[in-house]
Structures are given as structure tokens and as C-alpha cells.
Amino acid sequence: MTDIRFTAKQIEVLDIIKSRNPDNSYCSVYDIIEKLSYPCKRDALLHVLKNLVDKGYVERRSMELRDSRAVRVFGITTKALDYV
């Protein structure tokens, strides 16, 4: 297995996804943006998430209905638990 190097921002995103929401539901993009310690645009976060999904560290979960909107939520994989 090759060693992967994560940036500090990727580690923060993984930590947020791992910790979930206070009601123990999965995090959406908007939940993650609210919890980040740095300002981040939605498109930039989607790029980070796509990279983590492609590498197998984050998985896209089913759509959930929140505030009359369907939102995609994300969960952490067991592969990422070794790093977070």
C-alpha cells in the first residue's frame, strides 16, 4: 500500500465528515462549509470531496430531504479511518 499525503484542509474535511452532525446525521456540503475553520466556496469544497471520493476515502450517500430540498450527504469509509 502506498502512503498517501493529505493536506491539512483534507484532514479537516475528513474529521468533519467523521464527526457527523449533532443529531448523528451525515454531513452535506453546506454542513461541512459551516464547520470549516477557514472560508471556503462551495465549488472548492466539491473539488476536495470529489478527490476524496475518487481515492476511496469518502463515499457519497443517498439524497436526504432537508428544508424541502434534496441534498447529497457524505460518509467516511473504513479506508479513511486509518488516517483520521
- In this prediction the pTM is 0.89
CA separation for the pair 82, 73 (Å, rounded): 21
pLDDT of residue 51: 94
pLDDT of residue 5: 86
- Exposed/middle/buried for residue 54 (C-beta within 10 Å: 0-12, 13-18, 19+): exposed
Looking at the domain that runs over 8-81, which CATH code has it been given? Answer: 1.10.10.10
pLDDT of 21 above 60:
yes
